[in-house]
């Protein structure tokens, strides 16, 4: 029995994998080591991690600076309850993070992941109005959006086969068309109609790029208009930067493209450089003040056992060291330029419906009749990439590239050549 088969058998005997039909899925690939943009499997194969292991890895696998900071923290303080106590990594991380965010962001609330960062933002937004005795309860979101898999996050995400079993438990949400080029006025008109009613509490959105919708992209100028319109009608804006944060759009945050400022912001994924789980929700002083009272029932009753875990905060601090390094922006610019050049060459090729790019995010949409996530084409493209030593996770007929920032030009060229091979495969 080979080592690979043995590991797969052990895994399948005990593990339940995400987004996976366990009866029909092939055995998982055993990964034993990572370095830079490369994952090494136990059978000796190498894979370029072109999706940053679900968008979390910023600086490359097993980065020595992050590993050293985590090891040091483990020898000092591994965890302490964050209710009534605090510690240096959490305070320093909040201080440094707030310095990078829009000036109106003043307080940090820690959770465990992207979904919980969104959950607490929704609870904050709704309780903000509740504490003031103002009956605002409606949430607005974009069609096709994805904000997580917990119940509140599902409710403000696209209703689909993924949420169908839980439909009756999800609260009502008003969905807007995404303001892609040519549909901006349609979005503004729909939003204006909603805002004529007085019950809208908050608008939650993925800024500039909707991830699981297929890397659907829209301009910062229209988002500025939307945020401004919401604020004119006293509707809070929740900017979900779980995916776009820490460089994905070509700047540190999608907020850096905007003149308008959100009221709440959500972060996770890349915040620790892909090292471990951590979620963050930041808010304006106005939001925070609405919870201050002599009445203890007006407090925010939300918490997690591992809130502000010192080791996770230490990993995030080490990642911020790298984010604030001059080399970081150079890599963002390098990858963005490479993507743009490839897009220019590739988008007019036969079999290509559209190429989209924002910063380090590149998406290729193949012109095929069947576009469902569950169509066999998705698996065909996924397996083709693996056979060529590249990890890509197609969204139906859409293949995106979202690499760690340490990826080399030669590695990018291999990813691009794999996309070209996919194009020939689907024709």
| Catalytic entry in 269, 306, 343, 416 | 269
| Catalytic entry in 5, 19, 169, 424 | 19
Is 218 catalytic? The answer is: no
| Catalytic entry in 146, 306, 405, 416 | 146
Q: What is the DSSP string of 370-413?
A: ---TTSHHHHHHHHHHHHTTEE---BTTEEEE---TT--HHHHH
Is 19 catalytic? The answer is: yes
Is 269 catalytic? The answer is: yes
Is 380 catalytic? The answer is: no
Q: To which H or E segment does residue 366 belong?
A: strand 361-366
| Catalytic entry in 110, 240, 405, 416 | 240
Active site residues: 19, 146, 240, 269
């Amino acid at each position: 029995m080979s080592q690979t088969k043995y590991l797969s058998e052990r895994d399948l005997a005990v593990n339940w994998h995400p987004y996976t039909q366990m009866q029909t899925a092939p055995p998982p690939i055993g990964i034993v080591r990572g370095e830079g943009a490369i994952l090494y499997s136990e059978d000796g194969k190498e894979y370029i991690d072109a999706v940053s292991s679900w968008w979390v890895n910023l600086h490359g696998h097993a980065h020595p600076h992050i590993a050293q900071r985590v090891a040091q923290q483990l020898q000092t303080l591994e965890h302490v309850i964050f209710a009534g106590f605090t510690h240096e990594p959490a305070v320093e991380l909040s201080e440094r993070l707030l310095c990078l965010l829009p000036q109106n962001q003043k307080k940090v609330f820690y959770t465990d992941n992207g979904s919980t960062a969104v959950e607490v933002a929704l609870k904050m937004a709704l309780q903000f109005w509740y504490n003031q005795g103002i009956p605002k309860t409606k949430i607005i979101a974009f069609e096709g959006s994805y904000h997580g898999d917990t119940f509140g996050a599902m409710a403000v995400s696209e209703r689909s086969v993924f949420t169908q079993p839980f439909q009756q438990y999800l609260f009502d949400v008003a969905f807007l068309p995404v303001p892609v080029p040519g549909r901006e006025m349609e979005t503004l008109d729909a939003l204006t109609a909603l805002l004529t009613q007085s019950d809208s509490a908050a608008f939650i959105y993925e800024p500039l790029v909707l991830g699981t919708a297929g890397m659907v992209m829209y301009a910062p100028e229209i988002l500025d208009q939307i945020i401004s319109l919401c604020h004119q009608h006293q509707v809070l804006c929740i900017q979900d930067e779980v995916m776009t944060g820490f460089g994905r759009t070509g700047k540190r945050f999608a907020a850096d493209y905007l003149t308008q400022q959100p009221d709440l912001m959500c972060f996770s994924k890349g915040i620790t450089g892909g090292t471990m789980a951590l979620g963050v929700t930041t808010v304006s002083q106005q939001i925070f003040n609405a919870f201050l009272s002599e009445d203890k029932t007006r407090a925010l009753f939300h918490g997690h056992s591992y809130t502000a875990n010192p080791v996770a905060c230490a990993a995030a601090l080490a990642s911020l060291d790298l984010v604030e390094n001059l080399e970081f922006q150079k890599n963002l610019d390098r990858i963005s330029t490479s993507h743009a050049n490839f897009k220019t060459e590739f988008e007019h090729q036969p079999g290509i419906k559209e190429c989209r790019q924002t910063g380090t995010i590149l998406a290729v949409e193949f012109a095929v009749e069947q576009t469902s996530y569950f169509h066999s084409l998705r698996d065909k493209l996924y397996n083709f990439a693996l056979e060529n030593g590249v990890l890509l996770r197609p969204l139906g007929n859409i293949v995106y590239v979202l690499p760690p920032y340490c990826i080399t030009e030669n590695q990018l060229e291999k990813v691009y050549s794999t996309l070209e091979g996919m194009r020939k495969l689907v024709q």
